[in-house]
Structures are given as C-alpha cells and as structure tokens.
Structure 1
Amino acid sequence: MTAFITQTLGSYIAEEALARVPGDVIDKGKLCLLDSLGCLFGGHKLPMAGMLEVLRTDSQVAPAFVKATLINALDFDDIYEKGHPGATVIAAALSVAEHMKSSGTEFLEAVIIGYEVSCRVGISLAHVQPRKAIHGHGTWQTFGAAAAAARLMRLDAGRAAHAIAIAAANAPVASVMKTVYGDTPSMAKNNFGMAAQMGVLAARLAAAGYEGPLDVFEGEMGFWRMAGADECRFDKLTKGLGASYEILRVGFKPFSCCRLIQSSVQASRDVVRMAGIDPADGLHAKLVVTAPPIVCEPPFSKVRPRDMWAAQFSAPHAIAMAVFGVESGPDWFVDDWLHDEIAGRFQDSIELRPHTSHASPRGAHAASAWLQLRDGQSFERHVDVAEGEASNPMPKSALEGKFLRLASPVLGDSGACEAMDNVYALDKAGSLRTLLRLLVS
C-alpha cells in the first residue's frame, strides 16, 4: 500500500539526522537562525512587543506566537520562493527547545527539518492567476512549525505524520489579500504568529494521541484546495526529501521591506550614489523606477505612509529610507522618518512604471532606476536580482553586521557577539542554555 504524503513526511521528520546532512546545509541553517534571531531582537524594539507581553505564559504555544510575530514584524526576515519560512520554524523551535532542554544538535536538526517540510508544502501550491483571490503564507508555514516541534518532542514517524495532518486541518486561513493587500496593511500581516502557535499545538496534540486526517494532501479536496491553490504539484512535497535541501534556496534581506521591492530599492539607492548628490538638496528633477506591475499598484505604490505597517509595503518610503542612508530595521519606521517632510518630498518625486510586456527582465522582481537632475544630467541603474536573494547571496559579513545592528540595542555589543558565537557553535553544543539565557535577557 502506498504511504500517504503525511506518512512520508512523518518518516522524514523522525529519521533525519544532522550526521548525514551536508555541511553547506548545516552552515545555511546557522545563518537562517542568525538572521531570524536578529529580526527577533529588532522586533523587541517596537511598541508591539509590549502588546504581546500579555501572551507570556509557561506554555510552549503562546511564546511561539510572540516570537514568530516579532521575527516578521519588520519585514526583514528571510525570503524564499513563496514566503518567509524562518519566522514560524525558528519561533516554534526556540519555544519547544527551551521546554525540552534540547541540545544544539537536536535544535539544528529541527530547524533544518522545519525548513524542508515548510518550503516543500509552499512550493507544492500552484497558482494560475498571479493575483490570487485566496493567498496566505502562514497557511503553509504552519507545517514548518509542526515539523520542528514534532522533531524536538521526539515523536515517532506515526505521531509526526499526525502532527502534520492536524496542522493541515487547522492551518490559518489564507488572509493576505486583506491583511496586506487590503485598503490598510495591518500588523496581522502574514498571520505567522498563529501559524507558529498552531504548528506547536499540532505537535503537542499528536504527542497526546490526537489524530488528524492522514490523507489530507491527496485528492481533489486536499490541503492545496483548502489553501486556495489551483492545483498541487505533488512531486514537490516528497521528491528528493532528505537528499536535496530547499533551505539552500533561502535568501536574506538587506532592506526592511517587502521582497517584491528590494530590487527597486537597491537600484534607486545605487543610482543616487552614482549621481553623487545629497537627496535632501533637491538637485534632482525626478526618479523613475521601472518595476514589476504589482509594485506600481497599492499598497506598494503608497506615498508618505503614516504607520510602519503601510511603510514596509511602500516602495516610495523604502526607496527614500535607503537613499537617505537610514539603517535598515526599526529606524525606518520611527515617527520622525514617517513624517519627515524632506523625505516625503523625495517620495513625491518618484514615478513608478510597470515593466512593459515586451521587456522581460531575467529576475522575477527586477527593477531599473533612472534619475534626472535639474541640470540635465541623468543616471541609470538596473538590478536583475537583488542582493540577498539565494542566487545573489548577501556576504556573510553583511549578514553578521545586520544581526549585530539588530541585537546590540537589546543585548549590548558583547551580548550580541556572544549570541552570534553561540549560533555558530550549535552543532557542538550539548545545551542551549547560554543562547536561551541571552534570548530571555
């Protein structure tokens, strides 16, 4: 009898071992953790961190909600073909590892497993229409949380399969068309907090003997239909599982804004540098940014956004912050910059133009920036693939710099360096106590 997909995934969760994972995958897992932890520390500097204090309990479930929400809060967390897998995987793994007193090896195994399961479910969901009526990242990212939690709870293959099935039956609704693309982007955003929480809860329920529908992926009424996909690429779910690793296709952001506008921001920053002008001096006549059509529509085309949730999806705001040299992260969203008149006038000078049908750039999110000065000079810069994408990776030193900038205001300079050293030594650590102590502090 052919195994259900949940059972194949369950076997992988139970049987994967760090000892047989390639070295580049282990190294990438550490960088993914480092990036998510940096975003978590950055999120702790936001007002919403205080709101989430109400959820602090001794449970493993509520902390997963808090951590996933804060990791994603700045829109600075990792990127993949379909979303941001790290927020839910890392949040769930941290929350369960603390309870289970896991070793560094066990923790890294769970992180890698979580990425593999989450990413594979994500890329299995095929959409014919580019702007879908039903769309949500947290809907599939709950599986990464469930897989990581199941591994750290040491569930066997059968129980792990039920954890995946339970997560599927209770995944968050596909809400992005309202929480992001609605009239007002909100702090609910991608619903990663609920996705992480549900993943951990699914693993806990499976451990207690609760059962889910093991055939939840198969057939015309499978999970893909529940998630609003037009079809399911079933081979993506299990082919090469444990042999080829999707985590290697994960990238990291240099700018704290939506992935769709990273190339536009990079091209605009570079073209202003090429011109050698101070953007505050008003020496330019206009900045024309040619970008994917979606970037030229709301909410991405919003000029002068008034809160951080709208700002992180606003191409004009992100471009202005990069051009004015503001450090990516919490500083992009402080009131002083959101209401700065000079930065606002620069945003007013930006014209967003969609790629024409006959111009087919190599990168899916490619962008060009053309800057015209008042003296008649003009400068142009094109970016096919933004820095930070897996195919154009951010230098390790830049990723470390990003982490230290985000972590130091919370931990202090020495504490941030200690946390980074702990991440790199995880596969040799018998305990997570030191890293968890830094997180609690």
Structure 2
Amino acid sequence: MPPSITQTIGEYIGEESFSRLPPEVIHKSKLCIMDSIGCLFGARNLPVSRMMDSFLTDNYAAGPGVRLLDPGMSAFRKASLINALDFDDIYEKGHPGATVIAAALSMTAHRECSGADFLEAVVVGYEVSCRVGISLLHRTPRKTLHGHGTWQTFGATAAAAKLMRLDAGQAAQAIAIAAANAPVASVMKTVYGKAPSMAKNNFGAAAQTGVNAARLAAAGFEGPLDIFEGQTGFWRMAGADDCDFGRLTRSFGSIYEISKVGFKPFSCCRLIQNSVQACRDVFTMAGIDAAASERIKLGVTAPPIVCEPPFSTVRPKDMWAAQFSAPHAIAMAVLGVEPGPDWFAEDWLRHDIAGSLQDIIEFMPRSARDLFREPHAASACLHLHDGRVLEKYVPLADGEAANPMQESALETKFLRLASPTVGDKASLELLDRLQNLKSATSVQPLVRFVSGSMSTAA
C-alpha cells in the first residue's frame, strides 16, 4: 500500500537536511528571511501593530530574562505584520514567507538552533507550502472560494516540525492536524469584497494553526492521514475544483519551489505591480512633474480583474483598500512616494493631488487571449497637453522570480523598512547578521534582536 500524501510530506520534512541543499537554495532562503523581516519591521509603527500589542498584553508567560509569547500566538502576530503592508514575497500563489518565516522565528525563540538549522527549516516550510498551493486547481476564471492562508498553514507546520526535530511519522500527523484545522478560504470577502479588511489573507491564523499542529503532533495528537486524498480531500475544503497530486509530491528534495519566489518593489497587490511600474516609467519618460501636471490623460491596459473593483477603486478610504487600489498605487509611484508605510499614511490617502491623479486614469481590459502568455502584463499610455503620446509596456514586473530584483535593491528595501524601527546602525548590523546566517552557531541573538525591536518581545 503506497504511503498517503501526508506520509510523503512527513518523510520529506524528516529527511531534508542542510548538507544536501544546493548553495543557490540556501542563498535564496536568506533573501526570503531578509525580505520578511524587513516587512515585519516596516509594519511596526502601523495602527494594526499597536492593536496587536494591546491584544497580546495578557498572553505572555515569564521566561528566563524575557517575557515570551506562546509560539503559536507569536507566529500569529508576526505573520499578520509581515503581510500587513502587502510588500512581502510572492510565488505563483500567495505570500509563502509570511507564514513560514513567522513560524520559524517564533519556534526558534523557544528552541536553541544554529543558522543552518534555521535555514533548513525555512526551506522545508517553503517547499511544503508552495507545493500544496500549486496543487490546488481552479477551472473557472473567477473563483467562488479562495484563500491563501488556507494552504499556507502547511508552511508554518513544516518549518515548526523541522525545528522541533519531529520524525517522519510525527511530521505526517502534524500536516494532517493542520489540514483539519486550516482557516477557511475567505479572500472573496476579505480582499475581493466590497470593503477589503485587515483580516486579508488570514495569515496570522494560518501561522498559529501550523505551529500548534506541530506541537500537538509532538504531544501525541493524531490527524486523518488520508486528508488529502479523494473527493472529500483537503483540496475540496480549500475551495479548489481539483488537485494535481503529482505536483504536490513529485521531486521533493530535488526541485526547489523556493527558487520561484519573487520580491515586490511596490507595496500593493501583486496583480497591479505591472500597471504601477508601467505608469511610473511612462511619467519618467515624459519628464514631467506629476504633481503639477494638468490636462493629461492616462490610459492603463491591464488584466480584466484589475479593471474591476476593488482593484479599480479610486480614492480608497483606508490602507486595506489602498493595497488593492491600482489608482492609489499608481498615484503614489508617479508622485515618487517611497513604497511602504508612507503609501498608506492618512495624508496621502486624503491628498488632493493624489486623488486628482487617480481620477484621470482610464482602465481597459487586456484580451483573454493575451492573458495565458503574460497573465499580469500591463501597459500605460500617457497623453500630454502638448500633443505627445508616450507608451510603456511591462510584460513582467521587476521582482518576479523570472525578472529578479537586484540583490542590492532588496538590501536597500530592507534597510529602508527596518531603519525607522531600529535605527540605521542596527539595521546594517542586522543585515550583516542575516547575510552570515549560514555560519551562525546560534540564532538566538537574531531572534532576540527581532523580538526586542518589536518592543514587547517574542
């Protein structure tokens, strides 16, 4: 009798080792950690972070020299904040780093491990999470049910299980427990509904569920090991129309999905990155001051979904709606506002010039025939009052895995997000620590630094 899918995943978690990871995979995992921690720091001064502090006030337990959060609750906090700016990493689906890195950081606060152990767990988390995500198939262009947190819980489970050194059988049980308790697929309301909300992707709940699943398995709890198979499998629970089981289990340990992870240059939904880049570039080509421009027209040809609410919404009322508003993101980019927290400052959400720029944008859907070849491509056409017409086409946005961001640009992004929270000197020291993570005998100094910078620890 062949092993169940949970058992196959459990075997991979138990058997993967740092010694057999290709150098490029190790390097990519360090970049993923850097980007997620940068996004975590970038969210530190947002109102949602203060809400989280208030919520967690009574959830600490005394530890040796520091107050420690329960690892599941800590993962909830970190995953929520990593994704808060919608600036975190991207894959074919979802933002895998939010749940994987949050779980790894939170578990490491309670367990001694080396830098190699930490990197190993991160790679395992990405591999399991991404494979489950791409195995979920949707036959219709507009899903009825949709939710990345629903499947990203497995990345948190795998990372936590690896750091806890669960054997293959325990890891399989952890995956089964996580599947039975994963958050519901709610994106059609929390993102694509009439009012996008801070609930967003439920990454906090996904990370917490994943960490708790690993801890429950370690304690002897069991789950349904056949939870992926058949017509009542997890893929049905996640709202998919079918499941590619081969894509889920094939080539574990030989082909690494983490290599397909990209990083965002703009703090907005991945679906509108091409449109933002095209508009920014066409204004640069024109050499005009966007804030002083009058009698101009801006046309954007984009995927049909971008031409509909909530992506086409002008003058969004809050940061959650602004992250999915192509007009707002375009206005911020052409006005030269640095991506990150500043894009969602109240002054910019209410700014007259930014609002006026949004009002002149006309969205036109690309043909369905073109979407298969370049699903996110977009173009901008700028009509100037002097009669000039300038165009820019962006088939693949900067930062996508197939068009990777320069490492120096990723480091700049990290320093820009971290410095307001920890200062310039500490940001540079942390960057150096992350770059040398492979040789670190202990990750505790890194974890203590990150946790201490979040003010209330762990």
Scaled to the shorter chain, the TM-score interval is over 0.9
CA drift at 1:47:
0.9
Structure 1 Cα separation of the partners of residues 93 and 80 of structure 2: 18
Q: What is the deviation of 1:103? A: 1.4
Whether 1:76 and 2:83 are equivalent positions in the alignment is no
Q: Which moved more, 1:430-439 or 1:90-99?
A: 430-439
Pairwise CA distance, 1:372: 0.2
Match of 2:228 in 1: 217
Q: Secondary structure at the match of 2:301?
A: strand
Deviation string, structure 1 residues 32-57 (Cα, Å, up to 9, x no partner): 00000000000112011111112252
| Equivalent in the alignment of 1:410 | 421
2:353 is the counterpart of 1:342:
yes
Alignment of 1:96-115 (within 5 A): 96-115=107-126
For residue 18 of structure 1, what is the aligned residue in structure 2? 18
What letter matches 1:35 in structure 2? D
Measure, in 2, the Cα distance between the counterparts of 1:364 and 1:423. Answer: 34
2:247 corresponding residue in structure 1: 236
Given that 1:411 and 1:438 are in contact with CA atoms closer than 8 Å, whether structure 2 keeps it comes out as no
Look up the SS of the partner of 2:272 in the other structure: helix
Contact preservation (8 Å) 1:253, 1:388: yes
Residue matched to 1:373 = 384
Deviation readout 1:110-155 (Å, 9 max, x if unpaired)? 0000000000000000000121110000000000000000011111
Show the counterpart of 1:265.
Answer: 276
- TM-score, scaled relative to structure 1: 0.99
2:271 partner amino acid: L
Report the equivalent of 1:36: 36
- Contact between 2:382 and 2:390, CA under 8 Å: does it hold in 1? yes
Q: How far apart, in 1, do the equivalents of 2:113 and 2:295 lie?
A: 56
Corresponding residue number in structure 2 for 1:313: 324
Aligned to 2:261: 250
1:359 is displaced (CA, Å) by: 4.5
Distance in 2 of aligned mates of 1:358 and 1:237 = 28
Counterpart-to-counterpart distance in 1, 2:231 and 2:36: 36
Amino acid at match of 1:243: S
1:422–1:434 contact (8 Å) kept in structure 2? no
> Is the deviation greater in 406-415 or in 255-264?
406-415
Matches within 5 A, 1:270-309: 270-309=281-320
C-alpha displacement of 1:362: 3.8
CA distance in 2, matches of 1:16, 1:281: 57
1:9 paired residue number: 9
> Following TM superposition, by how much is the alpha carbon of 1:282 offset from its aligned partner in structure 2, in angstroms?
2.1
Aligned to 2:47: 47
Confirm or deny: 8 A CA contact 2:25 2:256 kept in the other structure: yes
Indicate the residue corresponding to 1:144 in structure 2.
155
Q: Is the 8 A contact 1:168 1:216 kept in 2?
A: yes
Residue pair 2:301, 2:378 contacting (<8 A) in 1 also? yes
SS of corresponding position for 1:418: helix
- Say whether 1:94 aligns with 2:111: no
Q: 1:174 aligns with which of 154, 179, 185?
A: 185
Instruction: Say which is worse superposed, 393-402 or 412-421, in terms of deviation.
Output: 412-421
User: Which ranges in structure 2 are unaligned for 5 or more consecutive residues?
Assistant: 61-68, 454-458
CA apart distance, 1:385: 0.3
CA apart distance, 1:284: 4.6
Match of 1:121 among 100, 107, 132: 132
Change over 3 Å in CA distance of 1:216–1:360 after alignment to 2: closer
2:309 partner letter? P
1:278-333 CA-to-partner distances (Å, cap 9, x unmatched) read 01112352100000000000000000011000000000000000000000000000
Q: Secondary structure at the match of 2:74?
A: helix
Aligned-pair distance for 1:435? 1.0
- The answer for the alignment partner of 2:71 in structure 1 is 60
Distance in 1 (CA, whole Å) between partners of 2:372 and 2:408 is: 29
State how many pairs are aligned.
441
**d(CA) in 2 for partners of 1:363 and 1:251?**
16
Contact (CA 8 Å) 2:282, 2:380: kept in 1 or not? yes
Given residue 140 of structure 2, which amino acid in structure 1 is its aligned partner? Q
| Greater mean deviation of Cα atoms: 281-290 or 355-364 | 355-364
Instruction: Please give the alpha-carbon distance, in whole angstroms, between the structure 1 residues aligned to 2:364 and 2:254.
Output: 42
| Distance in 1, Cα, partners of 2:35 & 2:369 | 37
Distance 1:358 1:139, change over 3 A: closer
1:198 corresponds, among 209, 217, 234, to 209
Q: CA RMSD in A?
A: 1.0
Report if the CA contact (8 A) 2:303-2:371 is conserved. Answer: no
